[in-house]
Amino acid sequence: MGWMYAFTIDGGRIWSVWDAAKDLPLWQCCNYGLIAHVDIQADGNGTMTLHLIEGRRGQGPGLVTSDFGQHWIAR
């Protein structure tokens, strides 16, 4: 999904989307390979590793979550 990440926390009944265009401050569109890897643990902690384009503003090496991916902050 490029710069978007879809997730559910209720077994697939309701889905939400994290969208870098809206949720990553100062992000400069477009990077279709922005999300390189997402890892969420059973306790809700996780990381999102980003594949960066050199010289693009608003990107960092990755994000962390503590609520199963509902909210992400820069690490």
CB atoms within 10 A of CB 33: 11
- Kindly report the backbone phi and psi dihedral angles of residue 10, in degrees, each rounded to the nearest multiple of 5, phi listed first: -130, 35
The pLDDT value recorded for residue 59 is: 62
Which pLDDT does position 20 carry in this prediction?
A: 92
* CA quadruple 57, 58, 64, 70: dihedral, nearest 10: -140
pLDDT band per the 50, 70, 90 thresholds, residue 12: very high
Q: What is the pTM of this model?
A: 0.85
pLDDT, position 57: 63
In tens, the pLDDT along 17-75 reads 999 999 988 888 888 989 999 999 999 999 999 988 887 766 678 999 999 999 999 88
pLDDT reported for residue 66:
97
